[in-house]
Amino acid sequence: MQINLRSFFSPVAVANHLLALPVLQTFIMDLIYPNRPTHPFPVLGFDELTAINGNVPVVRRGTAAYALGGEGQKITYLEPQPVDISSFVTAADLNNLKLLGTTGTEQWVRNKVDAQRRVVRATTEALACQSLTGKISYPMKTDTGLKLYEVDFGSVLEFTIVKKWDHADTTVADILLDLINIGNKIKQTSGYGSTIHYLAGQKTYVAVANKVLALPGDSKVAAKVTEQGINIAGFEIKLAQGGYTNLTNSAWVPAVTDHHVLAVAADAPWRLFYCALDDLDANLLPMPFYSKPVKKDNPSGYEIIGMSKPVPVPVVKAICKGVATAA
């Protein structure tokens, strides 16, 4: 039996493998970046994310339309960097695959695809987490070693919380007022904010939960702690469970640090693009993930290369952070 490994890695075959595998879940991508379009170009222009989203004047009939601004300005382009990973399969392994037959080989290939897509997903989640700071600064492998892949989207909004939420004198009503003011800052700055996700770091979340759980039964403030989060008069605070591993020191980096609260307007145009792959076998097309075998002679075998080119594009003026608890 001759194994044609490439037939198991055609674009259609890889797509079928992905469809057969369970859907992967990560906190920030699922909550903030559910919109993940493909993008056919090698660069991205994100100047349009600063466009006006609020109300504008009406226009007298017969006169020119109201310009949203940006004419004559230089467009900023982003060159996305790919996530390329590889694993090696020896000729001895391929000989063993003959014993599995076509069905067994297909399952073996599917397991390889699954392992690689999980690494790509974790890396994409790391980029998504970093994007909420307004800047991506992530290790990038080069021919000479590791350097930084850096993208500056701009500064996110900041809100000063005067009475820290873990202070003994702070009430649930004080926290509610802060949530309202944080949301108003986003609305007044960006025009977004009809729906806002409030994400709390671990210490902040516990501090708010303690305040709510200590409320008397006849409290006039409607507040409760559930499995979904903390609800205060209709404002829901979620524990920010996402994060990633710092590749330089192996430390866990939470999506929202312990002492912070992060507000994100869900109605802003959050997009995580999958850009065109720099690969002829993938027909230079954009796709979330692609994998292919490349024949090697020394040692004999196949290098299986998985690839993706994700780039999360945040709306920085739809993000507001604040230090909510004492350090």
Strand, helix or coil at 27? helix
Residues 124 and 288 sit within 8 Å (Cβ to Cβ): no
Residues 290 and 11 sit within 8 Å (Cβ to Cβ): yes
Residues 137 and 69 sit within 8 Å (Cβ to Cβ): no
Name every residue whose Cβ is closer than 8 Å to that of residue 161 and which is 6 or more positions away in sequence: 178, 261, 322, 323, 324
Out of 81-95, 137-151, 175-189, 286-300, the most confident range is 175-189
Q: Report all structural domains of the chain as residue ranges with CATH numbers, in order of start.
A: 5-50+77-151+272-313 (3.15.30.10), 154-267+317-323 (3.30.1930.10)
User: Model-level pTM?
Assistant: 0.90
Q: What is the pLDDT of residues 169-199, one digit of tens each?
A: 999 999 999 999 999 999 999 999 999 999 9
Q: What is the pLDDT of residues 45-77, one digit of tens each?
A: 666 545 555 666 777 656 777 666 544 444 567
**In which residue are the tokens 């980029």 written?**
127
Residues 34 and 310 sit within 8 Å (Cβ to Cβ): no
Tell how far CA 240 is from the center of its chain.
13
Strands (E), the chain: 38-39, 44-45, 77-78, 83-90, 135-142, 145-152, 157-158, 196-200, 223-225, 230-232, 235-239, 243-245, 252-254, 260-265, 271-275, 290-297, 300-308, 310-313, 319-323
Residue 174 pLDDT: 97
